[in-house]
Chains A and B, each alone.
Chain A
Amino acid sequence: MVLAERENLLAAGHRACPGCGAAIALRQILRALGRDTIVVSATGCVETFTSPYGMSAWEVPWIHSLFENSASVASGVQAALEFLQEKSSVVVISGDGGTFDIGMGAMSGMFERKQNITYICYDNEAYMNTGVQGSSATPYGSSTTTTPAGRASFGKIQHKKDMPAIALAHDVDYVATASIAYPQDLMKKVAKTKEIYGPKYIQVHTPCTIGWGFDSSKTIEIGKLAVETGLVPIYEVEKGKPMVVKKVKNKKPVMEYLKFQNRYRHLLKGEQKDIADQIQAICDKNIERFGI
């Protein structure tokens, strides 16, 4: 694959935590997009750690205004570029809170208008910027500060919202999931969006050392395990073509993934052990459904 940009378009010295999955995602995404890109972000980790006033890490034009409107701001940017007859790529990079929850209406509106915008969600599966509160991207059984495990709680009761399916229901031109653990795959998918006119959605699984509770040297390893267990399916759907799924030869039991993370610590022993079995069932269902 030929990358659009050899240099790192996210300058060093930003304020992400060591081992931050979202920061890794940004570097990979920007390499594939190149310099002729305008990025719109929602409020969240990326916004906070990349944009301290006077010390922006962005080497491409970047705009943030609020939490719930990145898709709508991007719609305006895209409309303005059309008016000016300029052709830069317009790309949203927002977190799961800004995508699955508070910004979903705006994103749905943008998809429905069929605007030429790529929406990339970096999915760290909770509100990390504000201190690890549960979002609708938080997976079943995961403990967060607002879905805490306790004597009468096994963590989040609800399953993760299937946002790619919601994107697909809008008949968008391209939907893909990816993981920072597979950079070639992620960058290939991001690069592909530049060739497709219309709305595109990519959801990137970005492990969070603080929120998930694992050692900051293990980010890629954790990301890999999420895929190898079948819990996070990696696939792409290009309009008019069959779904392409990343196959996993030697699937690992989900416990291999759960046991490294404090957010699942409560499931490792005792009476909540059966919740871990239910998470395994989610993996098994994914493996069957997607043909992983």
Chain B
Amino acid sequence: MSTISVIEGSMAVAQAVKVCRPGVIAAYPISPQTHIVEFLSQFVADNEMDTKYVRVDAEFSAASAVYGSSATGVRSYTASSSQGLLLMSEVLYAMAGTRLPVVLTGVNRTVSAPITIQPDHQDTMALRDTGLIQLHVESSQEAYATHVQAFKLAEDHDILLPVMVCMDGWILTHSFEPVKLEDQEKVDEFLPPFVPKYRLDTKNPLTYGAYADDEVPEFRLMMHFAQDRAKEKIKKIAREYEAKFGDYFGGLIDTYRCDDAEIIMVAMGSVIGTLKDAVDKLRKENIKVGVLKVRSYRPFPGEEILSAVKGAKMVAVLDKSLSVGQGGPLATDVKAAFASKQAPPVLGCIAGMGGRDMSMTLIREIIEKSQKAIATGETPDTEYIALKRQYLE
């Protein structure tokens, strides 16, 4: 029997990781990831998990240790945020390139400078091109489910890539919500033990991390092919999870009241819940809006997004980060996916950076800007929402 507990988002992740039975966890503390690794440490200390917990000297070492343990054929997990994720970044490129199916939680927090511990997506955006699969979650329950799904996805021999489950720091990690926790036996049925395709083994000596001069383009392309294959797998695993546990949070994307919507807001992460509430309110005012959740940021589901929004008059893409010198990364990807296709115009909206609250007022501002663009037929490239002008002077 599953149980429902009112727990912190961090505890939901820790509970999910626990039932996935990783053999090795290595982590280094950073806010707001800390509670996850504290809970996991306690599980190990209480013998509730048969796991080797490697307490390391830096995030760089955390990623490196799970690199080593995964290559030794053991299910491995780590978590970090912000500066910690950036410190890991060199290892994450190598980890994806070596096709090691590590699962990590990317607890989203902005990146210095200025330093703050507030959430936005600047950190995981910086890891966009690593080769990691990036799944973004909306709620603690989805975080729970997505971690269980992530191990199954990463370890699939057709995929063999690290999977990062991204969740907004504080907003999700430190909020208490009712979360349904699944039975160990049922999870074991859904997620069998990790069977490595290759591993470090003295009975079959293999070389990992060879020096390559001529083979680089093909190796990188093979990662790209694996991400392409992951598109179907992500959808399939989400449905398998639904069949087993009754919960479904979308495959590559999820939509809310999009069918007849004139304005569709596209976003990722915890803001989706707020946007759904906003849609319900706006619908009562006869404003036809909908929400599209991008659940898989890498692989990027361009075709699925286009197919879900093609009847709309305006697509407003919310970015909680800024690619300085370009604009919102999610909006940029959506625009690239729509280029030279029959598609609605795309209004890039930068909002919620540095943890700035995504309020109803702010969402109204996005809708008004979208309405104005529809009315005038002129869509600005990027709008900056709820700026405090005094700081710009």
Contacts and interface: CB of A to CB of B under 8 A. Distances in A.
A29 interface: no
A113 B210 CA distance: 28
Interface stretch (A48-56, A255-263, A275-283): A48-56
Interface in B197-226: 200-202, 204-215
A76 B57 contact: no
Given A73-B68, A113-B55, A60 B202 contact: yes
Contacts of A65: 64, 67, 91, 94-95, 98, 208-209
B188 interface: no
Contact of B72 (A36, A71, A81, A105): A81
A80 B69 contact: yes
B66 A76 contact: yes
A80 B56 contact: no
A105 B61 CA distance: 9
B211 A52 contact: yes
Contacts of A62: 205-208
Given A75-B65, A83-B74, A47 B211 contact: yes
B64 A73 contact: yes
B73 interface: yes
Nearest to B66: A76
A194 interface: no
A82 interface: yes
A286 interface: no
A63 B201 CA distance: 11
Interface string B213-243: 1110000000000000000000000000000
Given A35-B202, A48-B211, A84-B72, A79 B26 contact: yes
A73 B67 contact: yes
Nearest to B90: A66
A79 B55 CA distance: 11
B200 A61 contact: yes
Contact of A80 (B52, B64, B98, B211): B52
Nearest to A87: B202
B322 interface: no
A69 B92 CA distance: 12
Contact of A76 (B54, B58, B98, B202): B54
Contacts of B57: 72, 105-106, 108-109, 112
Contacts of A54: 210
A40 interface: yes
Given A65-B98, A69-B60, A109-B57, A79 B210 contact: no
Interface in A30-57: 35-38, 40, 47-48, 51-54, 56
A90 B209 CA distance: 17
Central interface residue in B55, B73, B202, B214, by most chain A CB within 10 Å: B202
Interface string B303-315: 0000000000000
Given A47-B211, A53-B215, A84-B72, A79 B65 contact: yes
Contact of B65 (A53, A63, A76, A81): A76
Interface string B45-85: 00000111011111011101111111111101000000000
Interface string A80-121: 111110001000000000000000011011001100000000
B68 A72 contact: yes
A59 interface: yes
Contacts of A125: none
B56 A72 contact: yes
Contacts of A51: 207, 209-211
B23 interface: yes
A51 B209 CA distance: 8
Given A61-B200, A73-B64, A105 B73 contact: no
A55 to B, nearest CB: 8
B106 to A, nearest CB: 19
Nearest to A79: B52
B210 A72 contact: no
Contacts of A236: none
Given A76-B67, A79-B54, A109-B61, A63 B208 contact: yes
A74 interface: yes
A66 B91 contact: yes
A214 interface: no
Given A58-B205, A76-B26, A109 B91 contact: no
A75 B95 CA distance: 16
Contacts of A59: 205
Contacts of B51: 83
A169 to B, nearest CB: 15
B163 to A, nearest CB: 18
Contacts of A287: none
Central interface residue in B60, B64, B69, B211, by most chain A CB within 10 Å: B64
A26 interface: no
B17 interface: no
22 contacts: A35-B202, A36-B202, A53-B212, A53-B213, A56-B207, A60-B202, A63-B71, A72-B64, A72-B68, A73-B64, A73-B67, A76-B64, A76-B66, A76-B67, A76-B70, A79-B68, A80-B23, A80-B74, A83-B51, A84-B72, A105-B61, A109-B61
Given A56-B210, A79-B52, 17 more contacts: A35-B205, A38-B72, A47-B209, A51-B210, A54-B210, A61-B201, A61-B207, A61-B208, A63-B68, A65-B94, A76-B26, A76-B70, A78-B68, A80-B70, A106-B57, A106-B64, A109-B58
Interface of A: 35-38, 40, 47-48, 51-54, 56, 58-66, 68-69, 71-84, 88, 105-106, 108-109, 112-113
- Would you list the 3 A-B pairs with minimal beta carbon distance, nearest first? A76-B68, A109-B57, A80-B72
Interface of B: 23-24, 26, 50-52, 54-58, 60-62, 64-74, 76, 90-91, 94-95, 98, 200-202, 204-215
